Structure 1
Amino acid sequence: MRTEEYAMHDHRRLGRELGLFDTDPLMGAGLPYWLPDGAVVRHVLEEYVRDAERAAGYRHVYSPVLGKRELYEISGHWAHYSEDMFPPMRLGGEEVVLRPSLCPHHALIYRSRSRSYRELPLRMAELGCMYRSEPSGVLGGLTRVRAIQLNDAHVFCTLEQAVGEARAALALIRRAYVDLGIRAARFRLSLPGEGGKYVADPELWSRATALLREALDGIAYEEAAGEAAFYGPKIDVQIADPAGRESTLSTVQIDFHQPERFGLGYIGADGARHRPVMVHRSVVGSVERAVAHLVEQHGGAFPVWLAPVQLLVLPVGEAQEEDAHDVVRRALALGLRAEVADPGQGTLGARVRAARLVPYVAVLGEREAGAGLAAVRLRDGRRPGAVPVEELLGRIGGVARARGAELWEAS
């Protein structure tokens, strides 16, 4: 894609043009805020992930964004990751830190009571915020931020269950990519490199890497040294923007380090205490990066189920405004996202052009309003003509529920 073509799809430009997000110097670099339409996309994406996780046997939790410095000393973050963390804050006689990761909190939730092998695998998920002290030079739009809403989860399981859970996580990721219209550029097995940023435990690395290789059986992947987490290897699902630049969206990791550090255990069938394995996984990574990619991939023309406004009703004049609002009320009652376009905002043609990214536009003139019809215009340029409002709403609802790509299938 040429530079000028990419600029048209750049989420930083489109996101502001479409009213999805913005920034303010008083909030600070790397701390964007979400506008109403962007909040809709984010909410729908989060609900999709929660529903998919629930169907896959995950239970959701909430945990605080702060933790004592001691927590991250135990997890290993303080020794291996502190340069990417915000400095501690004094709170009475203690130091607290904005968390750089959710896994230490989930480890504490797991160990909050005794566990039996009958509970495993225990799948714990959270859409939670974490904070990274990113240098200002690498910040940009939604792809690199300092406050990250992460779709995170941790599966506590037996050694024998670890490969199956990693494979199930990969299947969940691939299903989500189909539903979201995301194409994986490649799968990467990220391994440690040289230097002291990694936990010094060769056996740990060898065991975890072997299990991830087994989980990747049947999937083409590449290896990359120096891209692992400090505590273990990981599978990174790489995506590419329209200019071909890669980034990591989804991850799967197998971790022996933190279960050991936190002294996690479960009572096995033999009555003895055993150490669980911790499988980290994120289906869509950070919500910010996922939305940025979706904006660029779709050029702002989101699939119907993700679109901030699914139906825009255009009354030709003031006489049709009440009918237009009635259509919107009916759409909202069905769970659709619909709005009325102000007839005072330019000519009908200008209002139609302004709605070029809305999947469905319903024009109500005198003839349509009097007969309970809507003259339908689709985002792809087609005009199915005047149809009953009930049929139109039913069609939109059906496409949204099916997460379909076809706006108007032949009856």
Structure 2
Amino acid sequence: MTARNDHRRLGRELDLFDTDPLLGAGLPYWLPDGATVRHSLEEYVRAAERRAGYRHVYSPVLGKRELYELSGHWAHYRDDMFPAMDLGGEQVVLRPSLCPHHAVVYRARPHSHRELPLRIAELGGMYRAELSGVLGGLTRVRAIQLNDAHVFCTPEQVAEEARGALEMIRRAYLALGITPARYRLSLPGPGGKYVADPEMWRRSTALLRDVLDRSGLPYEAAEGEAAFYGPKIDVQVADRAGRESTLSTVQVDFHQPERFDLHYTGADGARHRPVMIHRSVIGSVERAVAHLVEEHGGAFPAWLAPTQLAILPVSGAELPRAEDLARRCAGRGLRAAVVPPERGTLGARVRDARLVPYQAVIGAREAAGGLVALRLRDGRRLAPLPADDVLDRIGALTGAHRAELWADD
């Protein structure tokens, strides 16, 4: 990866995010354009989850130390957690994971086999006590916004739910213009802090192998990469230097349902233990945006771009028409910005807007006829079209999260 593609430099150049010593290392803040990218990404995931039958919840970023002792995080993951804080005679901890909270949400109400699978999703904050030496940009941070979900299901439903999660990941990567580097079956390794239950590991590993085999996806097994409570499918992405990181995961967990005494009433009227599937479509928002910046060099897919349409009046005479077009864009939910003549010549303004997917040039002829001469980011120039037609097409493409810039009739 060249310095030109490094998201730490490019993200600041594009005014997406920044850091400040007063906030601390590993705690970046999002600027308006970066917040727009993040919001668009989060809304895409939420909508995809709703279509797939997930229901969204909110849970607190703090929990009592006992919560993480019960889940196993305190015993197996404590070195990566922030220290417990004394509060009113109790100890509370910034959560390192959302799964204990979702286990609590599940057990708050009785459940029948008829309700399963129960899919719970949240875009929630979690915190990792990363050492200063490994922090950098958005890829290694201490405060993480995670696209997380947990499916509570019967053992017979595990394979179908895991396959459904992989399909959601596949569709998201198409919309984002991301190509997986490889699929990895992450297994326990020697010397790690793992739950000591060989039969549990055998069952969950066999289930994930079957899911991968039936999906026809090539994969590699990797020891030492499992979660402490179970194996997982990791979807690996690579930067331009070939360095890999995990973006998306699917995990099978028999451990936490046991620890939290989760159950459902079966068709036989007896209590049964559900299986918990952990699933993240895009992983942490921070890492996803970092990868997208480097993958696209700031030229995001149109639906994700901070500014989707740059409106370029040729002269001051066309400025009122340009401002009217911007208002119409806002009414349609499109992100448009007028780049007025005082910003430079038309050529200079076109170059400055090179990362914007669409550029609407409005000269005297276009202003008089209610037309737009559209330029696409890939260099194509279209014949002048009625403004409403242009906005309809752009709205359809961005609303469908399409990768292409333009669809011809």
Q: With structure 2 as the length reference, what TM-score do the two structures score? A: 0.97
Could you say which residue in structure 2 is the equivalent of 1:135?
131
| C-alpha separation in 2, matches of 1:380 and 1:170 | 31
| C-alpha separation in 1, matches of 2:167 and 2:371 | 43
1:155 to 2:119 alignment:
no
Note the alpha carbon deviations across 1:276-334, whole angstroms, 9 max, x for none: 11000101101111111111111111111111111011122222221111000111111
Could you say which residue in structure 2 is the equivalent of 1:17?
13
Partner of 1:344, secondary structure, is helix
1:226 to 2:224 alignment:
yes
Give the aligned residue type for 1:40.
T
Partner of 2:320, secondary structure, is helix
| C-alpha separation in 2, matches of 1:24 and 1:303 | 29
| C-alpha separation in 1, matches of 2:165 and 2:376 | 36
Could you say which residue in structure 2 is the equivalent of 1:108?
104
1:399 to 2:397 alignment:
yes
* Residues 116 and 268, structure 1, Cα contact 8 Å, conserved in 2: yes
Deviation of the 1:393 alpha carbon: 1.0
Over the aligned positions, Cα root-mean-square deviation in angstroms equals 1.2
Give the aligned residue type for 2:193.
K
| C-alpha separation in 1, matches of 2:404 and 2:142 | 37
* Residues 258 and 273, structure 2, Cα contact 8 Å, conserved in 1: yes
Note the alpha carbon deviations across 1:83-134, whole angstroms, 9 max, x for none: 0000111111001000000000000000002111111111000000100011
| C-alpha separation in 2, matches of 1:166 and 1:398 | 31
Match of 2:28 among 32, 40, 44: 32
* Residues 377 and 385, structure 1, Cα contact 8 Å, conserved in 2: no
* Residues 184 and 219, structure 2, Cα contact 8 Å, conserved in 1: yes
| C-alpha separation in 2, matches of 1:361 and 1:72 | 52
| C-alpha separation in 2, matches of 1:405 and 1:50 | 19
| C-alpha separation in 2, matches of 1:297 and 1:135 | 27
Could you say which residue in structure 2 is the equivalent of 1:371?
369
* Residues 57 and 120, structure 2, Cα contact 8 Å, conserved in 1: yes
Match of 2:183 among 175, 187, 201: 187
Match of 2:333 among 332, 335, 338: 335
Give the aligned residue type for 1:173.
I
Match of 2:316 among 315, 318, 321: 318
Could you say which residue in structure 2 is the equivalent of 1:289?
287
* Residues 119 and 150, structure 2, Cα contact 8 Å, conserved in 1: yes
Deviation of the 1:196 alpha carbon: 4.9
Partner of 1:320, secondary structure, is helix
Could you say which residue in structure 1 is the equivalent of 2:62?
66
1:81 to 2:86 alignment:
no
Give the aligned residue type for 2:231.
P
Match of 1:91 among 87, 92, 98: 87
Deviation of the 1:236 alpha carbon: 0.5
Gaps of 5+ in 1: none
Partner of 2:178, secondary structure, is coil
Q: With structure 1 as the length reference, what TM-score do the two structures score? A: 0.97
Distance 1:114 1:409, change over 3 A: closer
Could you say which residue in structure 2 is the equivalent of 1:52?
48
| C-alpha separation in 2, matches of 1:410 and 1:236 | 37
Could you say which residue in structure 2 is the equivalent of 1:388?
386
Give the aligned residue type for 2:49.
E
Aligned residue pairs, count = 407
Deviation of the 1:166 alpha carbon: 1.0
Deviation of the 1:160 alpha carbon: 1.1
Partner of 2:58, secondary structure, is coil
Partner of 2:124, secondary structure, is strand
* Residues 127 and 144, structure 2, Cα contact 8 Å, conserved in 1: yes
Partner of 1:385, secondary structure, is coil
Partner of 1:163, secondary structure, is helix
Q: How does 1:161-310 map to 2 (within 5 A)?
A: 161-217=157-213, 218-310=216-308
Give the aligned residue type for 1:88.
A
| C-alpha separation in 2, matches of 1:204 and 1:139 | 34
Distance 1:192 1:270, change over 3 A: same
* Aligned-residue identity in percent: 74
| C-alpha separation in 2, matches of 1:167 and 1:373 | 47
| C-alpha separation in 2, matches of 1:405 and 1:107 | 37
| C-alpha separation in 2, matches of 1:385 and 1:24 | 47
| C-alpha separation in 2, matches of 1:136 and 1:340 | 42
Deviation of the 1:266 alpha carbon: 0.9
1:122 to 2:118 alignment:
yes
| C-alpha separation in 2, matches of 1:394 and 1:159 | 46
